[in-house]
Amino acid sequence: MAQACLFLLLALLIAVQGVAIQVDDFGVLELNKLEAWSEDEEMEEEKEKAMAPRLHSYGGGVTVVNVDSLGAVGDAITDDTEAFADAWKIACNASNAVFLVPEGRRYLVKPLRFNGPCADNLLVQIAGEIVAPDEPNDWDPKNPRTWLVFSGLKGVIFQGGGIINGSGSKWWASSCKINKKNPCREAPTAFTIVSSSAVRISSLSFKDSQQIHFTVSHSDAVRISDVNVEAPGNSPNTDGIHISQSSNILIQNVKIGTGDDCISIVNGTSNIKMKNIVCGPGHGISVGSLGKDNSTAVVMAIVLDTAVLTDTTNGVRIKTWQGGSGYVRALRFQNIQMNNVSNPIIIDQFYCDSRTPCKNQTSAVSVSQVMYINISGTSRSANAIKFACSDTVPCSKLFLANINLQTDSGTAETFCNSAIGFKYGSVVPSVDCLLTADKSHISKHSDGNRGIKRPKMHTEFFHGCEAKRVRYWKKKKIGNGGSGDGSRHGSPLSPSRPLLSSLAADDSTTFNVLNYGAKGDGVTDDTEAFQSAWDAACKVEASTMVVPAEHEFLVRPVSFSGPYCQPNILDGTILAPTSASAWGSGLLQWLEFTKLKGLTVQGQGVIDGRGAAWWGGTQSYDPVSLTLHNPSPVINAMLHSEMPSTKPTALRFYGSTNVTVTGITIRNSPQCHLKFDTCTAVSVYNMTISSPGDSLNTDGIHLQNSVDVSVHHTNLACGDDCISIQTGCSNIRIHNINCGPGHGISIGGLGRDNTKACVSNVTVRDIVLQGTLTGVRIKTWQGGSGYVQGVLFSNIQVSEVQSPIVIDQFYCDRGSCRNQSSAVALSGITYERVQGTYTVKPVHLACSDGVPCTDVILNTVSLQPVQESYHMYDPFCWQAFGQLETPAQPPVDCLLAGRPAKHIQYIHIIC
């Protein structure tokens, strides 16, 4: 019922206010899946409660392993660590076992790791109290960050009404936050569940932890209920429940009062449901902090439903550091009572928990699709609502309904900076400072709106340019075809985003295609008008060709050329024809810019390839299993038979220098979306590329024979590689990219048909990949030659990626390929900070027998399998030589040390 009302509410907003949104702009569909999941979990809990008497009776073949029987004393003085370890080994290896910590005793236990997997139906019954050593100086230096760790468990139940006591008072006194003369040092987390699934924790109390009380990390399907967490309000960093790199977590009926966040949700989390939460004292319920040290963060699908917060320093908070990347989206905070709370509703994208001031940075974690519904009570601060969002990556799609927040001294206030959203119904205090989507390029501050600066224009004289209709152009009206959108990401804003679209339409240097006969109705052929506008613009110094907003222009295949033609504003939509007659026997390009210098294509417009008429009839390649798959029934059902077999790229730049593409959207290309061939000094940022995940060969951005290329702050969703880097590319910088669906980010395939290929100096960093076939991949054909060297993959966040790290020197996208000894040589390939979840195989390094890979470096690789999925494969290496600089998770023991007997000297390879 609640879900239906939410859909109705958003539908009414669209009808009454004319708000241009779709229902799932706020992640409603994703949150509804979470709602249904949590209801199933609650039903499961009732079943477990019915089983409780059997478990408590310890009958029916249950093996009870009492820590006392293994030598535990339970006087809070004697060290009982060894007894706990011995009891765990027995209980873990026995089916239907109970690990029992009996009531009425206090057990002193030093840092200890309880490892799984364990036999079926293990119950951990903690009825007594487990006490940590209270002296920081005596703490085991081998375990500085943890106390009790439960790892690799599946289906284990924790219960019993006992206490986990961190004895943290001396740790707090030595904290630099209490006494600034003290050195800052890390302290242990009391209780950790890691790399586990289907774990249930109920009826336990956690108190006075040294730092965080209870952490869930790299886990799936964990339920926490009827738990109490308690520590003084001035105890530093004593978060109650901390969720990291985990999904499908349910927290309900819990009471938390600590010196930090009651619940903190950080990077790599999704599908988190919190219900019936009592919080205070503490710092409230927080998503974050995220993006510290310029890292990438991903958090999505979070619900807090029914909560009471009292005397907390924040209410519901999202906090991110400057300089980060990634996104937070699809959050819902509803049915919340605030009692004397500072900052009841807050987004803080300038968070800085540092002894020294944090430097200003332009990049930021994107925050969008956040809903606040039915929140009331009293605010201790004047600003009851605070949206302090990034100037360059504004918060977007914020929604508030039925908010009533007051202060004891008078009416509360709202602060907004770069926040885009709207309200419904009564919202007190007023949120008039929110920007609407059509004004999102202006940031509101306390000192008023900032002005808009026009960028500097190039001053070269334009000459020698022309627009050519590609062969088979015919003058004929074409009906509008269907289109789809496979995008899964919002659009991040770039720090250097130009605003040329604010130029006046009658400017003597501005050439609007409407003034040259374009109709913009999506039906009339506007190709000739585009040609005429381009020809006129290219003859005038510092000119601009404008494709205006709120129009759809049908344009046939066309090539724009000329050595000095420059800015081009695209705010409308350009549609590709879907009639086979427009394409003849097939063309490789639809819109092409050739031999240009200093061209900028920018705006808020859309290039729509309407590729549904083309997709299908081709098999897709799975590089992990090295098998071929038939296309989906949906693709096969499309009417593709009448279209030519040769499919065009939507937008191509050839032989050009100083090219910029920014702001626009390219969607549903018949094949590759955006291609740069033989180009120098290319900049692509703040744009979106999208097509369905099963649209064949629809690479997002394709680079070939191009140097000095920068691609950043861009969202890519397609049916092939999000970015593909081919031969002849060097000095390539790719960062702050959201990728998925798709095949990941790839170098190659290289060396096909025994060709020579050379790629060097490639940096791929700060990338988020979600649901892709591969993560970061290098693929070469057998029989090729040349080299790939100097490649860095850094800070790669993967979520449900089939195979995150891939080198495949046996690549073959057809039925069979013959074995050959020569190969493109790979050297100097570094993977650092590659983290997240996979569904098939974490690492696949398949190198050539004749030309092995060398200097492959792995540093801080932490990849966890998605739990309860199909069969997982171990890391695989073949003829891969290099170094494991830090232990990897899972272990990559197959990487060979040193160098092969036959080592390739790249200095002798000439491309």
Fill in the DSSP letter of residue 167.
-
Cβ pair 125, 101 in contact under 8 A: yes
Could you give the 3-state DSSP secondary structure of residue 357? Answer: coil
φ/ψ of residue 26, rounded to 5: -105, 20
Q: From CA 479, how far away is CA 472, in angstroms rounded?
A: 18
- Residue 241, both tokens: 């429940």
Q: Classify 67 in phi/psi space as left (phi over 0), alpha (psi -120 to 50) or beta.
A: alpha
Could you give the 3-state DSSP secondary structure of residue 493? Answer: coil
Residue tagged active-site, from 260, 677, 699, 808 = 260
Cβ pair 401, 424 in contact under 8 A: yes
Taking the alpha carbons at both ends of the chain, their separation in whole angstroms is: 65
Cβ pair 359, 321 in contact under 8 A: no
Q: Treating both helix axes as pointing N-terminal to C-terminal, what angle do 2-17 and 28-57 enclose, rounded to 10 degrees?
A: 170
- Residue 392, both tokens: 């360059």
What proportions of the chain, in percent to the nearest 5, are helix, strand and coil?
A: 15, 45, 45
- Residue 31, both tokens: 């949150």
Q: From CA 808, how far away is CA 826, in angstroms rounded?
A: 11
Catalytic residue status for 283: yes
- Decide the pairing of beta strands 544-547 and 627-629: unpaired
> If you search the block for the tokens 């999000």, which residue do you land on?
722
Sign of the torsion formed by the C-alpha atoms of 29, 34, 37 and 42: negative
Q: From CA 145, how far away is CA 237, in angstroms rounded?
A: 13
Cβ pair 73, 102 in contact under 8 A: no
Distance of CA 831 to the CA centre of its chain: 18
- Decide the pairing of beta strands 620-622 and 627-629: antiparallel
Cβ pair 511, 543 in contact under 8 A: yes
Cβ pair 651, 677 in contact under 8 A: no
Q: From CA 199, how far away is CA 214, in angstroms rounded?
A: 14
Catalytic residue status for 871: no
Residue tagged active-site, from 213, 283, 735, 844 = 283
Residues carrying an active site annotation: 260, 283
